[in-house]
Amino acid sequence: MSIFNISRRNLMALSAAALVSSALAGTATAQETIKVGVLHSLSGTMAISETTLKDVMLMLIEEQNKKGGLLGKKLEAVVVDPASDWPLFAEKARQLISQDKVAAVFGCWTSVSRKSVLPVFKELNSILFYPVQYEGEESERNVFYTGAAPNQQAIPAVDYLAEEEGVERWVLAGTDYVYPRTTNKILEAYLKSKGVKPENIMISYTPFGHSDWQTIVADIKKFGSAGKKTAVVSTINGDANVPFYKELANQGVKATDIPVVAFSVGEEELAGIDTKPLVGHLAAWNYFQSVDTPENREFIAKWKTFTKNDKRVTNDPMEAHVVGFNMWVKAVEKAGTTDPDKVIDAIVGVQVPNLTGGVSEMLPNHHITKPVLIGEIKEDGQFDTVWQTDGLVPGDAWSKHLEGSKDLIADWKTLKCGNYNTVTKKCGA
Amino acid sequence: MFCLRHLLRAVVLLVGFTATAVAGPYEDALPKFSAGSYSETDEAIGAVASSGHPMAQAVIEALQDGRLLAGNGQVFIRDPSGGLVNAATGQAFGAAPADLKPVRVNNRVRRAIEAALGGLTLLSPNAGTRMEAARAVFRSRDEAALPNLDKAVGQEGDAGVKQALQEARAAILLTKADASAEDRLSAVSTLRARGDQDALALLSNLSADSPPALVAAAQQAADAVRSRLEFWSAVQNVWYGISLGSVLLLAAIGLAITFGTMGVINMAHGEMVMLGAYTTFVVQELIRTYSPGLFGASLFIALPLAFLVAGAVGILIERSVIRFLYGRPLETLLATWGLSLILQQGVRTIFGPTNREVGTPAWMSGAWEIGALSLTYNRIVIVVFAFSVFAVLLLVLRYTSLGLFVRAVTQNRRMAGSMGIRTSRIDALAFGLGSGVAGIAGVALSQIDNVSPNLGQGYIIDSFMVVVFGGVGNLWGTLVGAMTLGVANKLLEPYAGAVLGKIVLLIAIILFIQRRPRGLFALKGRAVEA
Amino acid sequence: MKTQSLLDRQSIVVLALLAAAAILVPVLNGIMAPGSALHLSDHLVPLLGKYICFALLALSVDLIWGFCGILSLGHGAFFALGGYAMGMYLMRQIGPRGVYADPILPDFMVFLNWKELPWFWYGFDWFPFAALMVLLAPGALAFVFGWFAFRSRVTGVYFSIITQAMTFALMLAFFRNDMGFGGNNGLTDFKDVVGFPLQAGATRLVLFVLSVLALAGGYLLCRWVISSKFGKVLVAVRDAESRTRFLGYRVEHYKLAVFTLSAMLAGVAGALYVPQVGIINPSEFAPANSIEVVIWVAVGGRGTLAGAILGALVVNAGKTWFTGALPEFWLFALGGLFVFVTLFMPRGILGSAQDLWERSRQRFRTNRPAEALSPAAE
């Protein structure tokens, strides 16, 4: 009933009341805590992926508080639900920064949600940590990309398939949105540069949430039976993967015949599928739950305790948040303040251990160094790492394989520019 | 089954070979397994397989099952009981070295295993194993298997296996430059008779420097296979369409009752489907925990439960909300939309936002090959199931008293009431029936789609399209509507792509509704204006 | 039957409140010192602006649903088309300031290797053309769609479902990257509008005031429509379509006119929405969004223009508050609200309030039990 009472008053009263209460709340707690915004969808289509990331942020903040907080203050998580609604992401980001006065925001999953909040972070000068693999072609002063850029995921995966499995024909299958489009563009250019003929590349796009894969799987089978080793490079988006893999299994496409390497399928997605028919299909990530390092064992144990669920799995974007959060903590300690400008300056070059045994570093282009791991799906829904890069791969903000971006570099340390053109020697030109 | 196979193989090992324990290619190859590199493992498999050593098959099978352990250049087989056998000597080994690790496999190694086992098991006494072996050799086209293959063809009694063996032999001979011309020509005709994609690939990839007569024959055969395949692919597309149509039918048929005959714009319909899918998940979870043997029957157990769960929720919704809204169809839209939000979030709160795993029972896995058609069992089951649900529902509405009452109430509520029908009870039961049917649709959809809180949202618009296209208030319309949309979608997809195809179809529906504003099978008479 | 004047008491209240908003928000935000209790925080300005745009959208739905009985479940499509028209203008305004510094092509075209601007982007660098398209694109779609639908006498639920099909088809089409509208990422990263930087507080305030003015203008337009003779016919169509037709009115012409007008209003709302939220993406076409608009109208009170505005404001303010305060449970609250309103307040908040007011006044006058007055339920 209270909703109706409020609404009968005019709008001014409402906003004024909200303002006063938030102002009071703000002054009462601002001294004791540092607020951290968590901007992940808890409802709508993306809740399936993002809810876990919210949980991991809550765990990290709790852990940090157990260690005594940050700069002598406790951390406090401010969780909001942007409900998989892109304009709502911008609204919530604005609210987190200007009303809740958070020191940094950890959030977003889809590229469009990141694009939606970008102007807000630039305008209000705050910090966003973005934990998901994405299409690249971006470097902003206020955003830190802790997920993989295409050169940290797609290209090593293709190299592996070509070398280890002798693949000569390629199916690039993806959901029709920017990440698959860009990734496939980059891969196409890359494959052609390696001498793959255009008739040996098949590109297919499907709508979001596509659930009837009969025709496409049959097409893939057909394409794959031309006498040359064929592989599918899948950038199919989360929800559509389960029916895709179910159809693959039903039509008897085995990994030994046509392996599928996916960039968006991790432990969480596999938890919803019967993985026995999928053994041997691949995924390329920068982290697998099955990686056997002390850091990872400790993290998994903590996660299972925190969620009070022994079956909860961990995945790559979670690790990205762990790395991103630890980098932020270190940068704040280094700067001695949570002031965004100082933190942005301090964080470049910060190194923290990742969960796969290496030490990741924040680069001047606001991407990080990561190992690249190729894993084969096992019967228990985990991955068996069959290959990994020798060292860490630095993330490229701008792809060398795209015409529009091959001359661009990003450097926020010395050049103070996200899109510096090495040919014209100008920023943003 | 598994044990039996092993037993038989053990017998073969004992009977077929005499052990020789001198150092040879087999012993030389073994240490490569402990090198920890996939390419050396690959080489080792080839060497072991062609060594003719009695342990070869056992070693490769152990590798396939992850029972081959290696360390310090030594290789051991762990037999199913847990004991260790030294692969080099075949003797039981008591105390194993501490740092033994299973030899790792990846796709490449798995492929090599399959090819090697194919060559080794061509003479197995088990017809099924021989069939698998023949197929594996067909894929690998390993010339080393040729002697075994010739022998196997000669002594094969089973016609099906014999054909497979001959095809495998043809696949090898076709590309074998030093084979005789007749052999190669007859290989062409064998492959032409096989007539599938794989045969086509072999025929059309024949290198151009082969004898001209052979090239011409292969060319001709390839053309023949190609035109045969084109015909079958049209049939296959129709089948895909029927199978998509039956998914649509399943999703829409409950709505045909709640929306079609009762006039409730039931936006929560998709959530009823979702409840059915989650019921399946719960049933399977319980079965996994308490009696895994029943897993094959899990869907049959889930069916009535899903009907009851979704039906009960439906009746609850009808009693608590819908019954106040009869005659105001557009307001049922608003209320049921609210309910669908609540149900989605409810499921999300209880089961979590992520997909839950619903397994496919063994009898629904795999595909039925007929001609060049490949009909997957799960799709066949869904098609049959959709039609059965449709038939049962039709019979219920037609021949039971409940059906009679439902029809009477929906046609003329007051008159039905005057005749002594308890209209409100019928409303509740009809809504429960529609929801229950949606629930059992959920059981079927759990086999092909995500079981997540968003499951229902993916089907709601399609369901409405089907019902409206077919004609509200007519079950036959729903059937025809679903099949038309399914088949049209699948016929468009190869030309227009998945996205454009769907857009074209939606526009077609919009235009169709202009021509026939009340759908394919319009109700006539008084009910129309109601 | 009482005659309706253009400005009844309710209208005056609505316009007065809108005027107050148009004055108070800039004053509280721009003049009051930050930190003072009366200062309106910066982030609330675009938020309120967004609500106002939604209110205009709700108003356009109420015009056809409340007064002509046409339930459109695809009005989000007109809103989004208006938004895209504005978004395309804003994209062109970026000019060489995009990350690739291409003077003509928007960023998303550059990195997907487009070589030249598609023809339908021509003209959008010129504001008057874009402004015209804001009206014309949704208007033309509505005209064509309505011309077919009303002529064939597609009514009621069937009409609702095919409008849903329309918006769904458009959503799928705009999701396609090949269409040249930026695919799923949509249009974003706008810099300025007619020369004024979008990030500036003053621009925001101007946009807010413009939105309020558009809402007030839209309200007056709707009032004018429904209080004219034309409006009377619309109500007649709503209540008894066949009878109106038999009386000699060309029902489909009336419906088509009001449907097109309503679509244009929705387009204007979309055009004002985009610069304030900073993004337009195909999910605006999602059928769920259109259903939600209908629900705003139902919550506020169908058939009362003020109710549509109120409903949009209440539900969206509720959404903002719930998604922050109860992130895990807000869907329960929202869903519960819809069920509650349909069951217990069938005429919406405003309608129920009016009922209550009328009833108590009549009871006061006649001193008779209220039940006797209400018409017997079916």
| pLDDT (mean) for B155-172 | 86
Does B386 score more than 90 pLDDT? Answer: yes
**What's the confidence (pLDDT) of residue B200?**
85
pLDDT digits (tens, 9 = 90+) for A12-22: 444 444 444 44
CA angle A386, A391, A394 (to 5 degrees): 110
Does B334 score more than 90 pLDDT? Answer: no
- Residue B371 — very low, low, confident or very high, per pLDDT cuts 50/70/90? confident
Window C:156-175, CB contacts with A under 8 Å? 172, 175
Q: Encoding tokens for residue B452?
A: 């997540």
| pLDDT (mean) for C310-336 | 87
In terms of average pLDDT, the best of A134-138, A162-166, B347-351, C76-80 is: C76-80
Does A2 score more than 60 pLDDT? Answer: no
Please give, rounded to a whole number of angstroms, the shortest distance from the CA of A48 to a CA of chain C: 13
- Decide if B414 touches C, using CB distance below 8 A: no
- Decide if A177 touches B, using CB distance below 8 A: no
Spatial neighbors of C12 by CB under 8 A, at least 6 apart, are none
Radius of gyration of chain C (CA): 22
- Residue C207 — very low, low, confident or very high, per pLDDT cuts 50/70/90? very high
Chain C's closest residue to A93, CA to CA, is C43
Q: Encoding tokens for residue B440?
A: 């059992």
Q: Residue C302: name the closest of C75, C71, C138 by CA.
A: C71
Give the domain range for residue C143: 9-289
Do A93 and A39 contact (CB within 8 A), yes or no? yes
> How far apart (Å, rounded) are the C-alpha atoms in residues B162 and A131?
56
Tell me, yes or no, whether C367 lies in a domain: no
| pLDDT (mean) for A350-375 | 95
In terms of average pLDDT, the best of B125-139, B311-325, C35-49 is: B311-325
- Decide if B509 touches C, using CB distance below 8 A: yes
Do B267 and B340 contact (CB within 8 A), yes or no? yes
Do A49 and A109 contact (CB within 8 A), yes or no? yes
- Residue B123 — very low, low, confident or very high, per pLDDT cuts 50/70/90? confident
Q: Encoding tokens for residue B230?
A: 């084109």
Amino acid at A6: I
> How far apart (Å, rounded) are the C-alpha atoms in residues C344 and C273?
32
Please give, rounded to a whole number of angstroms, the shortest distance from the CA of C372 to a CA of chain A: 28
> How far apart (Å, rounded) are the C-alpha atoms in residues A204 and A396?
26
Spell out which residues of chain A touch residue B292, defining contact as CB-CB under 8 Å.
Answer: none
- Residue B14 — very low, low, confident or very high, per pLDDT cuts 50/70/90? very low
The subunits that touch chain B, with at least 3 C-beta pairs less than 8 Å apart, are A, C
Chain A's closest residue to C17, CA to CA, is A10
Q: Residue B433: name the closest of B312, B515, B260 by CA.
A: B312
Tell me, yes or no, whether C359 lies in a domain: no
Asked if C337 lies within 8 A of B338 by C-beta distance, the reply is yes
Please give, rounded to a whole number of angstroms, the shortest distance from the CA of C157 to a CA of chain A: 26
- Decide if C286 touches A, using CB distance below 8 A: no
Window C:29-48, CB contacts with A under 8 Å? 37-44, 46-48
Tell me, yes or no, whether C372 lies in a domain: no
Phi-psi region of A401 (alpha: psi -120 to 50; beta: other; left: phi over 0): alpha
For C152, which of B331, B468, B517 is closest by C-beta distance? Answer: B517
Asked if C295 lies within 8 A of B325 by C-beta distance, the reply is no
Asked if A256 lies within 8 A of B498 by C-beta distance, the reply is no
For B374, which of A42, A207, A251 is closest by C-beta distance? Answer: A251
Burial C109-128 (b: 16+ CB within 10 A, else e): bbbbebeebeeebeebbeee
H or E element, residue A297: helix A294-307
Do B54 and B22 contact (CB within 8 A), yes or no? no
**What's the confidence (pLDDT) of residue B20?**
44
Does A30 score more than 70 pLDDT? Answer: no
For residue A170, the cross-strand partners are A201, A231
pLDDT digits (tens, 9 = 90+) for A260-312: 999 988 898 888 788 888 889 999 999 999 999 999 999 999 999 999 988 88
Asked if A83 lies within 8 A of C323 by C-beta distance, the reply is yes
Size of interface B-C (CB pairs under 8 A): 123
DSSP code for A73: B
Tell me, yes or no, whether C348 lies in a domain: no
Spell out which residues of chain C touch residue A15, defining contact as CB-CB under 8 Å.
Answer: 40, 44, 48
Q: Are strands A169-175 and A230-235 parallel, antiparallel or unpaired?
A: parallel
Does B98 score more than 80 pLDDT? Answer: no
Do B261 and B254 contact (CB within 8 A), yes or no? no
Across all residues in chain A, what is the average pLDDT?
87
Q: How many domains does chain C have?
A: 1
First CA to last CA distance, chain C: 24
- Residue C367 — very low, low, confident or very high, per pLDDT cuts 50/70/90? low
Does A107 score more than 90 pLDDT? Answer: yes
Q: Residue A419: name the closest of C189, C287, B485 by CA.
A: C189
Q: Encoding tokens for residue C61?
A: 């739905």
* Share of residues in chain B with pLDDT > 90 (%): 26
The subunits that touch chain A, with at least 3 C-beta pairs less than 8 Å apart, are B, C
- Residue A31 — very low, low, confident or very high, per pLDDT cuts 50/70/90? low
**What's the confidence (pLDDT) of residue B272?**
95
Asked if C152 lies within 8 A of B339 by C-beta distance, the reply is no
- Decide if C132 touches B, using CB distance below 8 A: no
User: ipTM of the assembly?
Assistant: 0.86
Residue with tokens 């973005």, as numbered in its chain: A130
First CA to last CA distance, chain A: 56
Spatial neighbors of B164 by CB under 8 A, at least 6 apart, are B131, B134, B135, B138
Please give, rounded to a whole number of angstroms, the shortest distance from the CA of A262 to a CA of chain C: 20
| pLDDT (mean) for A372-389 | 92
**What's the confidence (pLDDT) of residue B180?**
83
For B337, which of C160, C165, C291 is closest by C-beta distance? Answer: C291
Does C5 score more than 80 pLDDT? Answer: no
Spell out which residues of chain B touch residue C294, defining contact as CB-CB under 8 Å.
Answer: 333-334
Asked if A116 lies within 8 A of C279 by C-beta distance, the reply is yes
**What's the confidence (pLDDT) of residue B1?**
46
DSSP code for B143: G
DSSP code for B31: G
For B335, which of C152, C342, C378 is closest by C-beta distance? Answer: C342
Do A318 and A52 contact (CB within 8 A), yes or no? yes
Spell out which residues of chain B touch residue C155, defining contact as CB-CB under 8 Å.
Answer: 517
Domains along the sequence of chain A with CATH: 33-148+294-369 (3.40.50.2300), 152-285 (3.40.50.2300)
Does A339 score more than 90 pLDDT? Answer: yes
Does A24 score more than 70 pLDDT? Answer: no
Spell out which residues of chain C touch residue B338, defining contact as CB-CB under 8 Å.
Answer: 295, 334-339, 342
**What's the confidence (pLDDT) of residue B202?**
84
Tell me, yes or no, whether C161 lies in a domain: yes
Q: Encoding tokens for residue B411?
A: 């046609």
Backbone φ and ψ of B321, nearest 5°: -125, -60
> How far apart (Å, rounded) are the C-alpha atoms in residues C13 and C210?
19
| pLDDT (mean) for B487-511 | 89
**What's the confidence (pLDDT) of residue A10?**
40
- Residue B19 — very low, low, confident or very high, per pLDDT cuts 50/70/90? very low
Spell out which residues of chain B touch residue C156, defining contact as CB-CB under 8 Å.
Answer: 329
Do A356 and A294 contact (CB within 8 A), yes or no? no
Do B57 and B113 contact (CB within 8 A), yes or no? no
- For chain C, the farthest-separated pair of C-alpha atoms sits apart, in whole angstroms, at 78
* Share of residues in chain A with pLDDT > 90 (%): 58
Asked if A111 lies within 8 A of C185 by C-beta distance, the reply is yes
Between residues C225 and B366, the one the model is more confident about: C225
Spell out which residues of chain A touch residue C330, defining contact as CB-CB under 8 Å.
Answer: 43, 81, 83
Chain B's closest residue to C162, CA to CA, is B510
Size of interface A-B (CB pairs under 8 A): 144
**What's the confidence (pLDDT) of residue B366?**
79
Size of interface A-C (CB pairs under 8 A): 174
> How far apart (Å, rounded) are the C-alpha atoms in residues C30 and A287?
49
Backbone φ and ψ of C38, nearest 5°: -95, -5
Spell out which residues of chain A touch residue B200, defining contact as CB-CB under 8 Å.
Answer: 225
Window C:218-277, CB contacts with A under 8 Å? 277
Asked if A7 lies within 8 A of C317 by C-beta distance, the reply is yes
Between residues A201 and A243, the one the model is more confident about: A201
Between residues A165 and B472, the one the model is more confident about: A165
> Per this entry, what is the length of chain A?
429
* Share of residues in chain C with pLDDT > 90 (%): 50
Please give, rounded to a whole number of angstroms, the shortest distance from the CA of C231 to a CA of chain A: 28
Asked if A250 lies within 8 A of B367 by C-beta distance, the reply is yes
Is the overall model pTM greater than 0.90, yes or no? no
Spell out which residues of chain B touch residue A199, defining contact as CB-CB under 8 Å.
Answer: none
| pLDDT (mean) for C222-246 | 92
Q: Encoding tokens for residue A13?
A: 């009263």
**What's the confidence (pLDDT) of residue B306?**
96
> How far apart (Å, rounded) are the C-alpha atoms in residues B145 and B168?
10
For B202, which of A219, A227, A249 is closest by C-beta distance? Answer: A227
Spell out which residues of chain A touch residue C96, defining contact as CB-CB under 8 Å.
Answer: 429
**What's the confidence (pLDDT) of residue A29?**
44
| pLDDT (mean) for B441-456 | 89
Residue with tokens 């296209």, as numbered in its chain: B469
> How far apart (Å, rounded) are the C-alpha atoms in residues A44 and A85?
8
Does B191 score more than 50 pLDDT? Answer: yes
Spell out which residues of chain B touch residue C337, defining contact as CB-CB under 8 Å.
Answer: 338
| pLDDT (mean) for B45-51 | 85
For A115, which of C21, C42, C279 is closest by C-beta distance? Answer: C279
Chain C's closest residue to B510, CA to CA, is C162
DSSP code for C180: S
Q: Which of A40-44, A55-59, B184-188, B494-498 has the least mean pLDDT?
A: B494-498
Q: Which of A322-326, B58-62, B205-209 has the least mean pLDDT?
A: B205-209
> How far apart (Å, rounded) are the C-alpha atoms in residues B114 and B49?
11
Amino acid at B320: S
> How far apart (Å, rounded) are the C-alpha atoms in residues C21 and C16?
9
Spell out which residues of chain A touch residue B369, defining contact as CB-CB under 8 Å.
Answer: none
Chosen for mutation from C53, C99, C329 (greatest number of chain A CBs closer than 10 Å) is C99
- Decide if B500 touches C, using CB distance below 8 A: yes
| pLDDT (mean) for A108-137 | 92
Chain B's closest residue to C298, CA to CA, is B334
Residue with tokens 């250019």, as numbered in its chain: A189
